[in-house]
């Protein structure tokens, strides 16, 4: 039973509705203190749709994933950020103290993982709870209900690695609730155990941030599922133009009017289709429905330009000897963004063993038929079963 309703869950129009059927869910607004180093970048400012196109053309002109030449200097950040998270306990297996921390990708927030449209088919949260895991599903910095700081130097991927580390440490120590903001309501009876097993699950930009976390803080993760991510085998352009980015505050003043300079959002539902979906035609059994596409549009979110360019070039992703858990790379077969539309044979299976020499298991799974946003393709739950089974087979 969901114990309470918060302003946040009302604002989200229901983010917790389903989970309430199957689990005990709590909305948290956490104060997360972090120290870290971002970059000062040679990057265009965006205060209009015209600026957004200038930016897109500029980004796509850069040589793909190496933006080193655009780094002007470092910016040290020492701050406490408001981070929204939803914490759900499974009804069953309450004594199974394994928690999954979910990091969404770009242009979505935590709702990416928890579809309110046919949750049994699409919601990863629903699947993980059913399998007995506790789930912490948060909005990354600059996204959803979390704080939206300066888009150029603060809302960048490097500091988000530190946010993930602090969240992970709070979960491990059982101190999450003592960091929940005053005046934000959660059930007073809520008690949090300390979790000794923490699995990190992520999508796309969230996977890059999580991979950087495994490189820097590998011993703090018990296992990981990285979706929509593979090691670079190609150096094509980033495909920023496929997103059809517009300045968020004017794209939808009602929803995104609070976004300052430098927050951008895909203009139309078909821009989302271009980047996140795949099917041959409407009857493709591994494709998607119009309803699922419309649902994606209803939950899309702006991202900061600092995030838009902060792909691997700004993150230290590499040799991760301290990570000793199982790791699954989960690719969508027809991922346009990651594999130019076809991931079969587009990843290098010899690469991960060098990067994760002490991982207990390494596996790449290719989800047949899906596009980059695999969670909203038909029969998505059959893919989740593959990941959850992988974790169980390897002790998590």
By CB under 6 A, the residues from 56 to 75 that bind ligand NAG are 66, 68-69, 74
Sole binder of ligand NAG in the list 219, 233, 268, 298 (CB under 6 A): 219
Beta strand 98-103 with 134-138: parallel, antiparallel or unpaired? parallel
| Identity of the residue, 340 or 389, whose beta carbon is nearer to ligand NAG in the bound complex | 389
Question: Does residue number 76 form part of the binding site for ligand NAG (CB under 6 A)?
Answer: yes
Binding segment toward ligand NAG, per CB under 6 A, in 33-41, 106-114, 143-151, 331-339? 33-41
Give the contacts of 120 (CB within 8 A, at least 6 positions apart). Answer: 126, 381
Give CA–CA dist 216/213, Å, rounded.
5
Question: Does residue number 214 form part of the binding site for ligand NAG (CB under 6 A)?
Answer: no
Minimum Å gap between C-beta 149 and ligand NAG is: 16
Minimum Å gap between C-beta 166 and ligand NAG is: 6
Structure tokens at 350: 């010899």
Using Cβ positions, the residue closest to ligand NAG within the complex turns out to be 382
**Contact map string, positions 328 to 357, toward ligand NAG, x by CB under 6 A:** -----------------------------x
Give the contacts of 95 (CB within 8 A, at least 6 positions apart). Answer: none
Question: Does residue number 281 form part of the binding site for ligand NAG (CB under 6 A)?
Answer: yes
b/e burial code for range 279-308 (CB count within 10 A of at least 16 → b): beeeeeebbbeeebbebbeebbbbbbbbbb
Which residue, among 340, 12, 304, has the nearest Cα to 147 in the 3D structure? 304
Minimum Å gap between C-beta 112 and ligand NAG is: 20
Angle at 329 between CA 325 and CA 330, to 5 degrees: 130
Binding segment toward ligand NAG, per CB under 6 A, in 7-15, 123-131, 265-273, 279-287? 279-287
Give CA–CA dist 194/383, Å, rounded.
29
Q: Are 155 and 147 in contact (CB under 8 A)?
A: no
Tell me the backbone φ, ψ of residue 260, rounded to 5 degrees. Answer: -80, -175
Sole binder of ligand NAG in the list 12, 34, 145, 249 (CB under 6 A): 34
| Identity of the residue, 298 or 358, whose beta carbon is nearer to ligand NAG in the bound complex | 358
What residues line the site for ligand NAG (CB under 6 A)? 33-35, 37, 66, 68-69, 74, 76, 78, 166, 219-220, 280-281, 283-285, 321-322, 324, 357-358, 379, 382
């Amino acid at each position: 039973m969901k114990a309470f309703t918060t302003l946040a869950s009302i604002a989200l129009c229901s983010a917790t509705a389903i989970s309430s059927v199957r689990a005990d869910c709590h909305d948290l607004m956490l104060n997360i203190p972090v120290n870290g180093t971002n970059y000062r970048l040679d990057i265009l400012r965006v205060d209009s749709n015209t600026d957004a196109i200038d930016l897109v053309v500029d980004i796509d002109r850069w040589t793909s994933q190496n933006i080193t030449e655009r780094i002007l200097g470092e910016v040290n950040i020492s701050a406490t950020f408001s981070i929204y998270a939803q914490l759900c306990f499974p009804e069953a297996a309450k004594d199974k103290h394994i928690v999954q921390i979910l990091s969404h990708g770009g242009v979505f927030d935590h709702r990416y993982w928890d579809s309110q449209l046919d949750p049994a088919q699409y919601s990863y949260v629903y699947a993980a709870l059913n399998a007995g895991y506790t789930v912490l599903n948060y909005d990354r910095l600059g996204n959803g209900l979390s704080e939206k700081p300066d888009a150029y130097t603060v809302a960048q991927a490097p500091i988000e690695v530190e946010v993930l580390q602090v969240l992970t440490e709070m979960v491990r120590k059982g101190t999450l609730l003592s960091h929940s903001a005053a005046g934000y309501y959660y059930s007073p009876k809520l008690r949090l155990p300390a979790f000794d097993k923490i699995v990190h699950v992520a999508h796309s930009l969230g996977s890059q941030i999580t991979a950087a976390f495994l490189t820097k803080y590998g011993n703090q993760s018990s296992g990981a599922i990285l979706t929509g991510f593979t090691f670079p085998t190609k150096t094509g352009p980033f495909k920023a133009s496929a997103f059809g980015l517009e300045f968020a505050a004017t794209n939808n003043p009602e929803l995104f009017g609070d976004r300052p300079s430098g927050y951008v959002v895909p203009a139309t539902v078909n821009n989302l289709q271009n980047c996140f979906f795949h099917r041959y035609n409407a009857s493709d059994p591994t494709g998607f429905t119009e309803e699922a596409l419309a649902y994606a549009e209803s939950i899309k979110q702006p991202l900061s330009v600092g995030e838009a360019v902060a792909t691997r070039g700004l993150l230290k992703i590499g040799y991760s000897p301290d990570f000793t858990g199982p790791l699954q790379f989960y690719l969508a077969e027809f991922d346009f963004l990651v594999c130019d539309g076809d991931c079969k044979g587009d990843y290098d299976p010899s690469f991960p063993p060098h990067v994760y020499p002490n991982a207990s298991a390494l596996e790449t799974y290719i989800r047949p038929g899906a596009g980059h946003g695999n969670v909203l393709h038909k029969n998505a739950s059959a893919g989740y079963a593959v990941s959850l089974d992988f974790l169980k087979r390897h002790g998590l």
